[in-house]
Amino acid sequence: MTAAWAGVGAAYARSFASLCEGTVPLLLDRTPDGDHLDVGCGTGALARAAARRGRRVLAVDADPEMVALAREATVGLGVRVSQAALPTLAIASGSADAVTANFVVNHVPDPWAAVAELARVVRPGGRLAVTSWTSAPTAQAVLFRRAFEASGARPVPGQRLPEHLDYDRSADGLVDLLAGGGLRVVDGGEHRWDWHVDEQALLTGIRGGVGAVGQTYLAQSEEVRRRFEGELHVLAAGLDADPQGRVVLPSVAAYAVAAA
């Protein structure tokens, strides 16, 4: 994982983790029962759900704070949680019936090497299922951009991978990435869901430096931060809300499933 995710585990758990949980049922439905390896487990939501389906789960993450959160989330479920980072997992080849990487390959410094390592640990006959954000602006990204623009925020240069290491951030691009790892792709496309999130939860993640929005927020002056929060409140009030008053943000991500 990139360094920008170090030390933001608690803020992520209270905010954007619920967004990434929107693809968990998809990944579990597309992979078999048995020995399950969840790579980049984050706060442990996918590992917890896999264990509740009766799978024998090993969950790994590069960040020690995420490892601690995942351990806490899976207490009593028999899930093993340890620290490991792509592209070197130190896990036996062909040891997992199911391997999942939920919003991981879009954060690593070498996606091709990462997928090759994920392919290595899939047992013959097993499945690898991954998700990735695409290059299309998400509903939350549009919301944040509008709030930053209205508050007069100073743009922060984005970090892009060298062209020879990157992949096309689309459903087809994700399929090509898995095929490049020597796997036979059996399914792929876009998955859509609604993210229901409280405005204060959003602010918790942003103030905590989570993702590009959090890093941009922290790069601003105190005055601009206050303006941003005010603009975000106004813009969020104009969006659809659920009966609990949470903002509803339509979400879409690419997914791909491959066989060893």
Using one digit for the tens of pLDDT, what is the confidence trace for 152-171?
999 998 888 999 999 999 99
Q: Kindly report the CATH number assigned to the domain that includes residue 89.
A: 3.40.50.150
> 158: buried, middle or exposed (CB in 10 Å: 19+, 13-18, 0-12)?
exposed
Is residue 132 included in any domain, yes or no?
yes
Q: Write out the residue range of the structural domain in which residue 241 sits.
A: 8-259
Residue 3 resides in a domain: no
Q: Summarize pLDDT for 95-129 with one digit per residue, the tens.
A: 999 999 999 999 999 999 999 999 999 999 999 99
Average pLDDT, rounded, for the chain: 96
pLDDT of 159: 81
What would the two tokens of residue 18 be?
């619920």
| pTM assigned to the model | 0.94
What are the structure tokens assigned to 171, written together? 């459903």
Give per-residue pLDDT as tens, 10-65.
Answer: 999 999 999 999 999 999 999 999 999 999 999 999 999 999 999 999 999 999 99
| Single-letter code of the amino acid located at 121 | V
pLDDT in tens, 54-86: 999 999 999 999 999 999 999 999 999 999 999
6 pLDDT above the threshold of 80:
no
pLDDT tens digits, residue range 205-235? 999 999 999 999 999 999 999 999 999 999 9
Residue 2 has pLDDT above 80, yes or no: no
User: How many domains does the chain fold into?
Assistant: 1
**Gap between the Cα atoms of 132 and 173, Å rounded:** 10
- pLDDT for res 7: 72
Say if 1 falls within a structural domain: no
More confident residue, 169 or 5: 169
